[in-house]
Amino acid sequence: MILVVLGTHELPFYRLLEEVESLKKSGVIKDEIIVQNGNTDYSSDVMEMRPFMSYPEMDKLFEEASLVITHAGTGSVTTALKKGKKVIAVSRLKKYGEHNDDHQLQLVDVFEEKGHILSWGEGKSLKDAIEAVEDFEPEPFVSGKQQMIDMLEDYIDNL
């Protein structure tokens, strides 16, 4: 199953759904597709749309997914990576009315440069990314959270 995550941002993200749906209809994508579409009002006869879900429901879908195609929100990308999933991240862009700015581009650049994810965006083919993900072995993602906790504990202990 492929999980497509759009997050909860109030602006729609049609560009990603239209491309995924096209690839499903053309036979490039053969897997079942479940979409967390948030505030993007979209109907499809080849993808299961679920606007909003509880945390346990989303967590279960992340666990079951063989691939996560997600907007480049930090929470969505890192959740998938922490669960050891292969990720294709897509930046919501201001010029398409998908976000207020283009900050997601930086997240995609950093995570892709470190080998954690693949991406789809301007001048790239989602079909190529989906085909490349089969042989892609992501670099393990380690959150810096525990490192920060340890540093704070050391600091407090030495006061």
- What would the two tokens of residue 36 be? 């967390």
pLDDT tens-digit series, residues 75-94: 999 999 999 999 999 999 99
Looking at residue 114, its pLDDT comes to 93
What distance in Å separates the CA atoms of residue 87 and residue 69, rounded to the nearest whole number?
A: 6
Q: How many CB atoms lie within 10 A of CB 95?
A: 8
H or E element, residue 95:
none
Say which CATH superfamily domain 2-157 falls into: Glycogen Phosphorylase B; (3.40.50.2000)
Q: What band does 155 get if pLDDT is binned at 50, 70 and 90?
A: confident
Q: CA 58 to CA 7: how far, in whole Å?
A: 11
pLDDT at 144 over 80: no
pLDDT tens track for 2-59: 999 999 999 999 999 999 999 999 999 999 999 999 999 999 999 999 999 999 999 9
Confidence of residue 153 (pLDDT cuts 50, 70, 90): confident
Q: Which residue has the tokens 């492929």?
A: 2
* Residue 72 confidence class, pLDDT cut points 50, 70, 90: very high
- pLDDT tens digit string along 94-141? 998 899 998 899 999 999 999 999 999 888 999 999 999 999 999 998
In the numeric block, the tokens 């540093």 are attached to: 151
Greatest pairwise CA separation for the chain in angstroms: 63
Higher pLDDT, 139 or 143: 139
Phi/psi for 96 (5° steps) reads: -100, 5
Q: How far is CA 89 from CA 50, 52, 114, 156, in A?
A: 19, 20, 14, 38
Residue 145: pLDDT over 90 = no
Q: pTM here? A: 0.89
Residue 111: Cβ-neighbour burial (10 angstroms; 0-12, 13-18, 19+): buried
